[in-house]
């Protein structure tokens, strides 16, 4: 599941110090489905490493489509509000990216989201499954459930 929302700099002066005059930032949330909880308990390093990698690869791919290099800061949360296992990343991303010439280019189109949520989720899911397969995870039932 992928969700994201915008945060405006003037809501918290800390952002001005941290990012300067970058403008609008977005919180992008990458959440793993409950079906992966058993694997997360058995192989936490694999699950969390692939969560970071797939999240970054997803955002980087969306930036690359627009000819820019995006940046993000990610914070891992392994538990949900009710203290049950719920691995997810909170990613802070800018609404613009760096072009190869060094200038900034906006990546946000219209609307209130940085990218289309459904498309972002599909790309993330495919990259996450590819990372699990590359790590020699072969549970086809697990993969089928992730795309159900």
State the distance between the two ends of the chain, measured CA to CA, in whole angstroms.
12
Total of domains in the chain: 1
Q: For residue 7, what is the domain's CATH number?
A: 3.30.930
pTM, to two decimals: 0.79
Sequential pLDDT tens for the chain (148 residues): 455 455 554 455 555 554 554 557 788 999 999 889 999 999 999 999 999 999 999 999 998 998 888 888 899 988 877 788 889 999 988 887 888 887 777 787 666 778 888 999 999 999 999 999 999 988 888 888 877 6
Q: Are strands 72-79 and 96-98 parallel, antiparallel or unpaired?
A: unpaired
Complete DSSP assignment for the chain: -EEEEEE-GGG-HHHHHHHSS---EEEEEEE--GGGHHHHHH-HHHHHHHHHHHHHHHHHHHHHHTT-B--EEEEEEEE-TTSSEEEEEEEEEESEEE-TTS-EEE---SSSSSS-HHHHHHHHHHHHHHHHHHTT---HHHHHHHT-
CA geometry: angle at 30 spanning 27 and 36, to 5°?
A: 160
What is the structure's pLDDT at 9?
47
What is the structure's pLDDT at 41?
92
146, 60 in Cβ contact below 8 A?
no
123: containing domain: 2-146
- How far, in Å, CA of 57 to CA of 29, rounded? 14
What is the structure's pLDDT at 44?
93
What is the structure's pLDDT at 145?
80
What is the structure's pLDDT at 102?
78
């Amino acid at each position: 599941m992928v969700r994201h929302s915008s945060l405006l700099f003037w809501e918290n002066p800390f952002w001005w110090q941290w990012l300067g005059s970058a403008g609008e930032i977005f919180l992008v949330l990458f959440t793993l489905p409950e079906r992966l909880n058993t694997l997360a308990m058995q192989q936490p390093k694999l699950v969390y490493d692939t969560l970071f990698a797939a999240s970054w690869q997803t955002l980087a791919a969306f930036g690359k489509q627009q000819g820019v290099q995006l940046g993000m800061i990610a914070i891992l949360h392994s538990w949900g509000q009710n203290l049950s296992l719920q691995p997810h990343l909170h990613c802070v991303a800018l609404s613009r990216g760096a072009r190869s010439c060094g200038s900034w280019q906006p990546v946000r189109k219209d609307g209130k989201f940085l990218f289309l949520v459904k498309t972002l989720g599909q790309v993330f899911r495919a990259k996450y499954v590819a990372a699990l397969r590359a790590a020699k995870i072969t549970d086809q039932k697990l993969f089928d459930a992730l795309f159900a």
